[in-house]
């Protein structure tokens, strides 16, 4: 039997799909990409300096600015879009192995993806964490303190410096989270990278893990990526239209068998 090579051949029969999402899936929800032409860091280089852990710990003014930026983030008003919903549909049909995301906006869970399917390799801005005692607090509770006039709210338990539960530059990724992502890449039959430039490790290397372990690779991204040559299909089209169409194709063959 010939190996299936086209999307119409292999999408309907993929049974364990692992998806990796990046900033490009959330731009339709009004959350700017950090590194694109309209990106936050491109337009305001000091914003990137605010993301290094050393600057944050050393300089109270950086922390004050960062708390204001968190409070004013577009994430709090953002709604999930059609691409997020398409991944919920894949999960409900029992076809999603895992959903790895580089995004910190929590929109996959807001759309209805299960917390146990979502692997947030860069953390989440919907929680705050104390850098001294690791206490985690829902971010809205801390932002309410910022609104009430605390410009750098300390941990209520130990008085330590708090930040969003995200991976800043200079901070190591969580090894357990990374391990889960690698296992999800190695144990899928189809790996779909969506809205990510695949230039930030280790997320990018997950494509290689998947292909090395026998998965087919589909890349959906507006711009070229370093892994395009490795992919079975490359779709340089808007994520918000393309991912729902691929999900329809995957689900269209009546293989909605559940788990
Ligand atoms: Zn603490």
Q: Exposed, middle or buried by CB within 10 Å (0-12, 13-18, 19+), for 194?
A: buried
Number of H-type helices and E-type strands within the chain = 11, 9
Mean pLDDT along residues 160-179: 93
Predicted confidence band at 169 (pLDDT cuts at 50, 70, 90)? Answer: confident
1-31+80-122+172-259 has which fold?
Rossmann fold (3.40.50)
Query: Does 79 have pLDDT greater than 90?
Result: yes
User: Percentage of the chain with pLDDT > 70?
Assistant: 89
Query: Does 259 have pLDDT greater than 60?
Result: no
CB-based burial, 163-175: b 16+ in 10 Å, e otherwise = bbbbbbeebeeee
Question: Could you tell me the distance, in angstroms and rounded to a whole number, from the CA of residue 103 to the centre of ligand 1?
Answer: 25
Mean pLDDT along residues 12-29: 96
84 is known as an active-site residue: no
Question: Could you tell me the distance, in angstroms and rounded to a whole number, from the CA of residue 112 to the centre of ligand 1?
Answer: 31
Question: Could you tell me the distance, in angstroms and rounded to a whole number, from the CA of residue 138 to the centre of ligand 1?
Answer: 14
Domain boundaries, the chain: 1-31+80-122+172-259, 34-72+125-166
Predicted confidence band at 57 (pLDDT cuts at 50, 70, 90)? Answer: very high
* Residues flanking ion ligand 1, Cβ below 5 Å: 130, 132-133, 135, 155, 157-158, 160
Q: Given this model, what pLDDT does residue 256 score? A: 44
Q: When comparing pLDDT for 9 and 180, which is higher?
A: 180
CATH annotation of 34-72+125-166: 3.30.1600.10
Mean pLDDT along residues 224-243: 95
Question: Could you tell me the distance, in angstroms and rounded to a whole number, from the CA of residue 132 to the centre of ligand 1?
Answer: 5
Q: Given this model, what pLDDT does residue 255 score? A: 44
Average pLDDT, the chain: 90
Select which of 84, 108, 122, 213 is catalytic.
122
* Alpha-carbon gap, residue 86 to 111, rounded angstroms: 9
Predicted confidence band at 49 (pLDDT cuts at 50, 70, 90)? Answer: low
132, 38 contact by CB (below 8 A): no
Question: Could you tell me the distance, in angstroms and rounded to a whole number, from the CA of residue 119 to the centre of ligand 1?
Answer: 25
Query: Does 84 have pLDDT greater than 70?
Result: yes
């Amino acid at each position: 039997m010939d190996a299936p090579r086209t999307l119409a051949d292999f999408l309907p029969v993929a049974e364990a799909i692992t998806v990796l999402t990046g900033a490009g899936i959330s731009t339709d929800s009004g959350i700017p990409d950090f590194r694109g032409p309209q990106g936050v860091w491109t337009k305001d280089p000091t914003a990137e300096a605010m993301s290094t852990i050393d600057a944050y710990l050393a300089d109270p003014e950086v922390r004050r600015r960062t708390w204001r930026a968190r409070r004013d983030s577009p994430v709090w008003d953002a709604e999930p879009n059609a691409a997020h919903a398409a991944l919920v549909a894949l999960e409900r049909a029992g076809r999603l192995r895992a959903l790895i995301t580089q995004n910190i906006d929590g929109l996959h869970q807001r759309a209805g993806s299960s917390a146990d399917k979502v692997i947030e390799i860069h953390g989440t801005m919907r929680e705050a964490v104390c850098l001294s005692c690791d206490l985690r607090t829902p971010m809205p509770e801390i932002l309410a303190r910022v609104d009430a006039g605390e410009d750098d709210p300390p941990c209520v338990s130990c008085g330590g410096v708090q930040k969003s539960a995200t991976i800043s530059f200079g901070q190591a990724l969580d090894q357990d989270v990374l391990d889960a992502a690698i296992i999800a890449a190695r144990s899928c039959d189809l790996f779909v990278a969506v809205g990510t430039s695949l230039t930030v490790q280790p997320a990018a290397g997950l494509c290689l893990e998947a292909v090395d372990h026998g998965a087919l690779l589909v890349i959906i991204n507006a711009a070229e990526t370093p892994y395009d040559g490795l992919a079975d299909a490359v779709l340089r089209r808007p994520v918000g239209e393309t991912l729902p169409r691929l999900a329809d194709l995957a689900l269209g063959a009546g293989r909605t068998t559940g788990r």
